[in-house]
Amino acid sequence: MEALTPDSGRGVTIYQVARRAGVSIATVSRALRGSGPVAERTRQRVEQAVAELRFVPSRLGRSLAERRHAANGIVFPDLSGPYYAEVVLGYEEVAAEAGRSVLILSTRGRRDVAAMVRELAGRVDGMVIFGRTVDDAAVSDILATGVPVVLIARPPVGTADTVNTENTATATALTDHLLAHGLRRLVFLGDPTLSTDAAERWQAFADALRRHGLPPGEPSRCEFSEEAGREAARRLLPTVDRPEALVCADDEIALGALTAAEEAGIRVPDHLAITGWDDIMSARHVRPTLTTVRQPMRELGARAGRALDQLITGARTEPHRQVLPTELVIRGSCGTH
């Protein structure tokens, strides 16, 4: 802790360091970055000056000269549920390892998303975009700028990479499992038009039923939220031919359905089976515990991060499409044993 005389209180520049060390700024730069030969004695003088002045190179100056931000972006709809938070975490970890900062952008309830994404694109070397945030045109826009993009939970757009989780096999296994328990009147809760994931789950669910000679009927459409799930279930339960099982597009919907069942005095799983998707924390705590499907959330983010890195560094140029495996988690709410 020595007394210092920062030129302007804010921002010591490479020029000040150079003057203090009695060398040119080029030498300072070389000494600091090891990008060229520097005499040992000179290096020491520079390092001392750097220490004394507490010099920290300006990111802006560096980025401008190097023509790179050393930063990545990520666009997601929300951060409330555990789903996105986990993915972001996995992403941030990989990015940090690669020496890149992470800029986030939530699109929750925003109008000018396209503009915000464009703005973000101007601050990063590449970005990850979640399904259900911006439309294809906006994505193409970014790609046209030359900024690499990795899409998560979304079908391909242009040359962007994609990282998705497996839905079909698991949804089939889940449906088969319920059918094997003798359940016949199965209803899907969720809106296939809201996301690719929901669409694929519904599709596999419907196909599985058809294979067993059962009509899949129509999905009971609702958005991904507890309240929506509760409403949807509430409409279904008083029916004469009440469903024997509710296959929900995600855990939040399932939790809402569970509440609706409880409110209607219907015992789960005895008189009604309910399943979810994602294996969020509450799935383990709710009673009965929720049968669901686990997705490698953090890994999803990590993969996206690595894919993006390859795109940015140019290590790869053709688009990659990854599909991560998921796992059926049988618990109490589907009436097993």
Give 72: exposed, middle or buried? Use CB within 10 Å, 0-12, 13-18, 19+: buried
In this chain, which of 6, 24, 193, 325 binds DNA, going by CB under 7 A?
24
CB 253 within 8 A of CB 225: yes
Considering CB distances under 5 to 8 angstroms, the limit depending on partner class, which of DNA, a copy of itself, none binds residue 23? DNA
CB 125 within 8 A of CB 69: yes
Q: Which residues of 271-286 are buried (b: 16+ CB within 10 A; e: fewer)?
A: ebbbbbbbbbebbeeb
Separation of alpha carbons 308 and 314, rounded Å = 10
Query: How many CB atoms lie under 10 A from the CB of residue 104?
Result: 14
In this chain, which of 24, 35, 44, 80 binds a copy of itself, going by CB under 8 A?
80
Q: Is 106 helix (H, G, I), strand (E, B) or coil?
A: strand
Separation of alpha carbons 55 and 206, rounded Å = 63
Considering CB distances under 5 to 8 angstroms, the limit depending on partner class, which of a copy of itself, DNA, none binds residue 48? none
Q: What angle do CA 149, 316, 169 make, to 5 degrees?
A: 70
Residue in the structure block whose two tokens are 């000679």: 213
Considering CB distances under 5 to 8 angstroms, the limit depending on partner class, which of DNA, a copy of itself, none binds residue 281? a copy of itself
In this chain, which of 3, 5, 10, 314 binds a copy of itself, going by CB under 8 A?
10
Q: Which tokens belong to 187? A: 């209803």
Site stretch for DNA (CB under 7 A), options 27-35, 179-187, 232-240, 309-317: 27-35
Q: Binding of DNA at residue 25 (CB under 7 A)?
A: yes
Q: Binding of a copy of itself at residue 287 (CB under 8 A)?
A: yes
Q: Binding of a copy of itself at residue 114 (CB under 8 A)?
A: no
Q: In the complex, what is the shortest distance from the CB of residue 67 to DNA, in angstroms, rounded to a whole number?
A: 6
Considering CB distances under 5 to 8 angstroms, the limit depending on partner class, which of a copy of itself, DNA, none binds residue 120? a copy of itself
Q: Which residues of 192-209 are buried (b: 16+ CB within 10 A; e: fewer)?
A: bebbbbbbbbbbbbbebb
Residues that bind DNA (CB under 7 A): 11-15, 22-27, 29-30, 32-33, 35-39, 41-42, 55-58, 60-62, 64-67
Residues that bind a copy of itself (CB under 8 A): 9-11, 54, 56-61, 63-64, 69, 71, 78-80, 82, 84-86, 88-89, 92-93, 96, 101-106, 108, 110, 116, 118-120, 122-123, 144-146, 255, 280-282, 285-287
